[in-house]
Amino acid sequence: MSYSPAPHLFLIAMDGPMSLDNSKCFVADSATMTQPSSTTTWMLVGVCGAGMHSLCSLLLSNPNIRVVGTDSDDDALMRLQRKFGERFVAIPWSATIRPGAISTIQQAVHSLAISPSSPPLVALASHGITSQPLPEALRSLLGKQRQICVAGTHGKSTTTAMISWILRQSGESAPTFLGAEWQGFEATKSKPVSDNTAASELAVIESCEYRNTFLSYSPTVAVVTSVETDHFDWFISETEQTTAFQKFVRSIPVEGCLVINGDSAVAKAISSSAACRVVEFTSGNSDTQSREVNNTEGDHRACWAVSNVLPPQFLSAEETSAIQSRFRQDFVLRHGHESFEVTLGQPGVHNCENATAAILATMAVGIRPQQAAECLRSFPGICRRFEYRGNWRGIHWIDDYAHHPGAIRATLETARQVFRGHRLIAVFEPHQLSRTAALFSEFCDALSLADEALVLPVLPAREIATTAMCLKTSGQLVRRINHDRIRAFLMTNLDQVQGRLDHSARPGDVVITMGAGRTHQIHDENYRRLQRDFAA
């Protein structure tokens, strides 16, 4: 068993020249690319990152655009080639980009994670091509549309995808920038998840606060789902982060609308900086009657309430709907004396809140809330958000992107509700040393909601750190969790995690992989093992 990457891309590269009209294989070093004169070619550097992947989808929704993509992750690059097909040309990171190839490139964009000294950017610069950072490119690409921007610590991707789905199901074309992949990609093709930007009046943008990228956009409607301290490698203090959010909501024009989660004290305080109309929603024990709240400028905000949240259900294969969701979540959305039922395929109170934010955001652009709620019945969900990866050997397997204590808590609390009486095993890869250190106690509390925790070394991501430092920090986390809490184990790699699960997981258990890194690969390995078992 191995989690090593796929064979190097050069092993499957074409020999000799390659045309953009026949790009089903990877481009070799010596490839000379040609294209029809009507086609514009974009080069995306770091194309496998979530944001760049989304930009690639947006660009390829225009039939007159071709994309040349490069990334250091060969395996992910191969998957993109299979997904996007003939108008996507993949170039291995280590390949030398020849002048003949560069001459066909009219636009270049790079991920914020890419160093200016990286070989692709150096090659482009040597031929007089300036690469734009991703936020700048999005601002140029979607600058003519009325933008619905979704910000906040938690729920950005799901809320963005829900807004996009409601608009498309309602016949509104809306190009969407989403930092995640849709579940059931084939099933969404009848309602495309990426539309030609030129033919649309609206655009939906997941707007991250990291490096203040959300200040690059021009929201007509904005959502702030919640605000918790994060991105410790960028914001030097909580005050600096709050200031960035205040600037974001101040960018909404007077005639625009801000939707906020009123249960987030910081988000509620930030909303007072907005000059536009504010729509607030609450959940839990909040007052379910409509009320008007004055902000510091004397404006009024409409208040909605998430109420009557029923326990989420796990559906049998026979009960699963056409969108293949294995879950059902019902709640009631109230506004004054008005109320209507909402049914989702995504479980948990946090998803009720995400759905409410999406309904209120689309209401601000003219869609009736009852219609929006009906659209969400068929919402397929996005990958790595309480994604059910199957039942293998009697064990339920769930994958989630949770990498902040608040998200881990929501994921495990939801799992307790869905799988009542089952043992929960959490597999977690911490993301960044700075985040793990700053929220150390919060991580311990959140992971202790499981019955057993398997903790991998910290993934340093944008930080410079040794393997020893990453192991030491995760080891400290394990020791604290073990002290008067639950059983926790330090795992040095994914193979060791699989070995532990083979030994200790038993039928009826629920294994939940969490983190922004590689834990989802455990499910891919299970699938390969299942195929081998079936073949045998």
What the block records as the tokens of 496 is: 């060791």
Residues 234 and 356 in one domain: yes
Is 444 a domain residue?
A: yes
Residues 22 and 120 in one domain: yes
CATH code, domain with 212? 3.40.1190.10
Domain final residue pick, 132, 161, 195: 132
CATH code, domain with 117? 3.40.50.720
Report DSSP letters for 22-43, one per residue. G-SSPPPTT------TT-EEEE
Residues 256 and 398 in one domain: no
Residues 255 and 299 in one domain: yes
**Residue type, position 328, single letter:** R
Q: How far apart are CA 478 and CA 458, in angstroms?
A: 12
Rounded alpha-carbon distances, angstroms, from residue 493 to 433, 434, 499, 521: 17, 21, 10, 11
Query: Nearest CA to 407 among 374, 431, 377?
Result: 431
CB 166, CB 362: distance < 8 Å: yes
Report DSSP letters for 219-266, one per residue. EEEEEE-------TTT-SSHHHHHHHHHHHHHTS-TTSEEEEETT-HH
Residues 414 and 292 in one domain: no
Q: How far apart are CA 424 and CA 405, in angstroms?
A: 17
Is 437 a domain residue?
A: yes
What does the CA dihedral 105, 108, 114, 115 come to, rounded to 10 degrees?
A: 80
Is 319 a domain residue?
A: no
Is 431 a domain residue?
A: yes
Provide the terminal-to-terminal Cα distance of the chain, rounded to the nearest Å. 17
What the block records as the tokens of 159 is: 């809320």
Residues 107 and 185 in one domain: no
Q: How far apart are CA 522 and CA 317, in angstroms?
A: 23
Domain count, the chain: 3
**Number of neighbours of residue 357 by Cβ within 10 angstroms:** 29
Residue 417 backbone phi and psi in degrees, to 5? -75, -40
Please give the pLDDT value at position 292. 38
Distance of CA 516 to the CA centre of its chain: 9
Residues 157 and 296 in one domain: yes
Report DSSP letters for 487-509, one per residue. EEEE-SSHHHHHHHHHHH--TT-
Please give the pLDDT value at position 522. 94
Residues 256 and 147 in one domain: yes
Handedness of CA 342, 345, 346, 347 (dihedral sign): positive
Q: Whose structure tokens read 């108008």?
A: 87
Q: How far apart are CA 405 and CA 470, in angstroms?
A: 18
DSSP character for 373? H
Three-state SS for 397-457 is EEEECCCCHHHHHHHHHHHHHHCCCCCEEEEECCECHHHHHHCHHHHHHHHCCCCEEEECC
Is 454 a domain residue?
A: yes
**Number of neighbours of residue 495 by Cβ within 10 angstroms:** 14
Q: 510-514 and 395-400: which strand pairing?
A: parallel
Please give the pLDDT value at position 199. 65
Q: Which residues of 240-273 are buried (b: 16+ CB within 10 A; e: fewer)?
A: ebbebbbebbebbeeebbbbbbbbbebbbebbeb
**Number of neighbours of residue 92 by Cβ within 10 angstroms:** 20
What the block records as the tokens of 229 is: 């301290």
Is 53 a domain residue?
A: yes
- Domain residues for the domain of 419 are 387-535
Please give the pLDDT value at position 196. 52
pTM of the model as a whole: 0.88
Per-residue pLDDT of the chain (536 residues; tens, 9 = 90+): 445 433 322 222 222 333 333 333 333 333 334 444 568 899 999 999 889 999 999 999 888 999 999 998 888 898 899 999 888 999 888 776 666 666 678 899 999 889 888 888 988 898 889 999 999 999 999 989 999 999 999 999 999 999 999 999 999 889 999 999 998 754 444 344 444 555 679 999 999 999 999 999 999 999 999 999 999 888 999 999 999 999 999 999 999 999 999 999 999 999 999 999 999 999 964 443 444 343 434 445 679 999 999 999 999 888 887 667 899 999 999 998 889 999 999 999 999 999 999 999 999 999 999 999 999 999 999 999 999 999 999 999 999 999 999 999 999 999 999 999 999 999 999 999 999 999 999 999 999 999 999 999 999 988 899 999 999 999 999 999 998 779 999 999 999 999 999 999 999 999 999 999 999 999 988 888 877 766 65
Is 1 a domain residue?
A: no
Please give the pLDDT value at position 189. 45
What the block records as the tokens of 271 is: 């909303």
Please give the pLDDT value at position 4. 42
Residues 531 and 395 in one domain: yes
Is 120 a domain residue?
A: yes
What the block records as the tokens of 295 is: 């902000």
Residues 262 and 184 in one domain: yes
Q: Which residues of 20-53 are buried (b: 16+ CB within 10 A; e: fewer)?
A: beebebbbbebbebebeeebebbbbbbbbbbbbb
480: helix, strand or coil: helix
Residues 227 and 358 in one domain: yes
CB 332, CB 308: distance < 8 Å: yes
Domain final residue pick, 101, 132, 163: 132
132: helix, strand or coil: strand
Three-state SS for 133-166 is EHHHHHHHHCCCCEEEEEECCCCHHHHHHHHHHH
Residues 127 and 225 in one domain: no
Domain final residue pick, 99, 132, 165: 132
Q: 293-294 and 424-428: which strand pairing?
A: unpaired
